[in-house]
Chain A
Amino acid sequence: MDSLTNYLLVGAILFSLGLYGVVTRRNGVAVLMGVELILNAANVNFLAFARFGGMNMAGHVYALFVIVLAAAEAAVALAIIINIFNNFNTINVDEVSELRQ
């Protein structure tokens, strides 16, 4: 468990699963979940380099900023998704292809 490669591999797998969710899901909320997985993978990498590399506490600060950005992104994205649902009655991202009705 005490090796950098383990954490980097977990981060890589989490990132790839998130990417898979983003590219294959049709539902907007599910795409958002994929983005959250990607951000978590980035955080695992930051903290792994903070623990094993020379980043030290700076890695923790970056991870904290990533969490702040994820919170802001989730709030705005859900507001947009609810707006899309009110206008189109669906949140499947491939059906929303018009700028105005």
Chain B
Amino acid sequence: MADMVFWIIVGITIGSAFMVVQSKSLLYSAYALLFTFVGVTGLYVFLWADFLAVVQVVVYVGGILVLIIFGIMLTNKITSVNISHASMQKSAGAIVVLGFVGVLGYMVFNTPWVELANAEPAQTAESLGHLLMMDYLLPFEAASLLLLGALIGATTLSRKEN
């Protein structure tokens, strides 16, 4: 049962990711991206990362995707132009990317991975909090500074100059 659910989630993730990069309509790409994010959330749950799964839904689906759709709406004249976008040099890109998949897949299959028998953590949020406040305090503060900078920078950039 869990096996089947896993493969369904993998199918949704990769299928919708393919839709994102080949769909003719920009809005369809954005909606397909929604299913990719939800599929990746399912993978997180299979990887015992329940807290990160919730963060993924809140930040990606609730934040970044809405931002992207806003970007589409603000940069296209909805009334006059149909929102479509073409790709260029598809075949050259496909060859390069297929070669990339081949190399990565060869590497994945031919490396003798050591899989440790880790136990499922009882709670992830608590140990994440401990790590963020003890071992990773400096990166945590740097990330908060970066978010502040990005906030101010984004508002300054998109403001209309008088």
Contacts and interface: CB of A to CB of B under 8 A. Distances in A.
Interface of A: 1, 3-10, 12-21, 23-30, 32-34, 36-37, 40, 43-44, 47-48, 50-54, 56-58, 60-61, 63-65, 67-76, 78-83, 85, 91, 94
B20 A60 contact: no
Contacts of A73: 150
Interface string B51-73: 11001100110011001101110
A56 to B, nearest CB: 7
- Secondary structure at chain B's binding surface: helix, strand, loop or mixed? helix
Interface string B15-59: 001101100001001100100110010011011110110011001
A15 B128 contact: no
Nearest to B104: A12
Contact of A32 (B17, B21, B68, B105): B68
A13 B48 contact: no
A10 B157 contact: no
Given A17-B20, A60-B131, 6 more contacts: A6-B6, A47-B43, A56-B118, A68-B147, A75-B154, A76-B157
B15 to A, nearest CB: 10
B64 A50 contact: no
- Give the residue among A13, A20, A76 with the most B Cβ atoms within 10 A: A20
B143 A52 contact: no
Given A1-B6, A43-B40, A33 B108 contact: no
A63 B49 contact: yes
B64 A60 contact: no
Interface residues of B, number: 81
Interface in B100-117: 100-101, 104-105, 108-109, 113-116
B41 to A, nearest CB: 10
B71 A1 contact: no
Contacts of B78: none
B128 A24 contact: no
Contact of B105 (A9, A20, A23, A51): A9
Contacts of B146: 68-69, 72
B13 A10 contact: yes
B64 A12 contact: no
A48 B118 CA distance: 12
Given A32-B68, A36-B33, A64-B52, A50 B47 contact: yes
